[in-house]
Structure 1
Amino acid sequence: MSWIEQDGALVRTFKTPDFMTAYRLVSAVVEPAEALNHHPDLRFGWGYVEIRLTTHDAGGITEQDHQLAQRIDAAVRPFGL
């Protein structure tokens, strides 16, 4: 699954085999988010991670969200999800 536009945000949900993989995937998102000083909304639990990207100040999706989405994709690629 790739990123979708939903309610003014880019959203991607990853299915994971267990809680620790979900946690590690969330951890992998931290560095790219800090590098861009743009922070996603994250939800995770056993078997899933949901990432939502939006620029609250702009009231929706901006180029910065697309840039972070690309960096997140690269960061989670080693997980094979």
Structure 2
Amino acid sequence: MSERQTEKTYTDDEVRARLAAELPTWRLEDGWIRRTYRTSSWKGTLMVINTVGHLAEAAWHHPDLTASYAWVEVRLMNHAAKGITDKDFALAAKIEEVVQWQPAREGKGLEGTPDKDLRFAYIKYD
């Protein structure tokens, strides 16, 4: 896409429809698509932040983050386009896929984080 072309931005109604169909745990609020991930501790919060940071840097599309001891809020909006674009939906989908990944459910040999031992608690899955 050339510098002179602007990316398509979606109306609020279009954003809500796409979120409902593609990212039901995300919401539109104050011009941003947002998702709050609940974690089990500061360790889990830092792991989510680092994961989002890696994905954002690889995508070269950077969200705003707010964090506390047991949660991280991710906010996406395309600053250059001044609205929600396909980049926001694509990055949100990748973040959702990676942060919510539960290998044990796939049955491919990875056991995943132990559920019963709180010493290893990481994220509170939906």
- Which TM-score applies when normalising by structure 1? 0.90
CA contact (8 A) 1:8 1:59 kept: no
What corresponds to 2:80 in structure 1? Answer: 57
What corresponds to 2:53 in structure 1? Answer: 30
What corresponds to 1:5 in structure 2? Answer: 28
Percent of residue pairs identical: 36
Q: Secondary structure at the match of 2:61?
A: coil
Separation (CA, whole Å) in 2 of partners of 1:7 and 1:58: 16
More strand by share: 1
Counterpart residue type for residue 45 of structure 1: S
Higher Cα Rg, which structure: 2
Return the offset for 1:37: 0.3
Q: After TM superposition, what 4+ stretches of structure 1 lie above 4 angstroms from structure 2?
A: none
What corresponds to 1:17 in structure 2? Answer: 40
Number of residue pairs aligned between Structure 1 and Structure 2: 81
> Which has the higher relative contact order, 1 or 2, with Cα contacts under 8 A spaced 6 or more apart?
1
- For 1:17-45, what per-residue CA distance to the aligned partner results, in whole angstroms no more than 9, with x for missing partners? 11110110111112211121000101111
CA contact (8 A) 2:40 2:124 kept: no
More helix by share: 1
Separation (CA, whole Å) in 1 of partners of 2:71 and 2:58: 24
| CA RMSD of superposed structures (Å) | 1.4
Give unmatched runs, 5+ long, in structure 2: 1-23, 102-122
